[in-house]
Amino acid sequence: MIKILSPYLPEQAVEAAFELIKHYHIHLKIVNERVTRHGDYTRGLDGKHVITVNSNLNPYRFLMTLIHEIAHLVAFQKYGSSIKPHGVEWKHTFQLLMLPFLRPEVFPSKLLPLLANHFRNPSASSDTDERLSIAMRMYDKVEKNSNVCFVYEVPLGSHFRAHNGRVFKRGPLRIKRFECLEVATGRLFVFKANAEVEIMTHYVVKQ
């Protein structure tokens, strides 16, 4: 298992992560990318604890996702299955499980202050923390010819494709969100700055 984990995690986190997996008898599956989530936890009818994590995550996001899902398992075991999935019990458990990893041997110094702020009150998804999400992307493995970027990186007036395939034209920043026009319907939508999209460099507007 350590050999399997090593390519996906920061080097100094592999052994500790493996011990958690072994201690809680977790069946870990590393799967292809899913747009709607980075990972999940389920308990099968046979009582087996199954955690899946997307294979395309950078090592730091992979670690956070893995511990996020382990925190679900531990919180349900400690407090019962009636608790809210991302309620105070889960938040407290996630904080405790992540604490040993929040050190410079594991995370880059640029991320540590953002992580410290995030874990004061961890959210259901780190993607909702815009500053952390944008900083995390610096460590993603992005293909050289990839047009994937954040909405805030799309030039004003340029077109982009959302993950659902719909095409938008980027408009101005309105307070903390970007106002964008859906090309097919003419309707206005707002996007968070860290929404990942595909910029369309050669989009032709149909008359």
Phi, psi of 190 (to 5 degrees): -115, 140
Percent of the chain with pLDDT over 70: 96
Sorted by where each begins, the domain ranges of the chain are 2-137, 148-199
Angle made by CA atoms 136, 139, 143, in degrees to the nearest 5: 120
* C-alpha dist (Å) from residue 130 to 96, 104, 152: 23, 22, 11
Q: What is the pLDDT of residue 145?
A: 52
pLDDT band at 206 (very low <50, low <70, confident <90, very high): low
The CATH fold assigned to 2-137 is Zincin-like (3.30.2010)
* C-alpha dist (Å) from residue 156 to 29, 71, 153, 168, 186: 40, 40, 9, 11, 17
The yes-or-no answer to whether 2-137 and 148-199 have a common fold is: no
Q: What is the pLDDT of residue 4?
A: 85
pLDDT in tens, 170-189: 999 998 899 999 999 999 99
- Beta sheet of 196-199, edge-to-edge order: 148-150, 196-199, 159-161, 167-174, 177-182, 188-192
Its CATH class, for the domain covering 148-199, is mainly beta
Q: What is the mean pLDDT of the chain?
A: 90
Q: What is the pLDDT of residue 6?
A: 94
pLDDT at 143 over 70: no
Q: Which of 104-113, 154-163, 194-203 has the lowest mean pLDDT?
A: 194-203
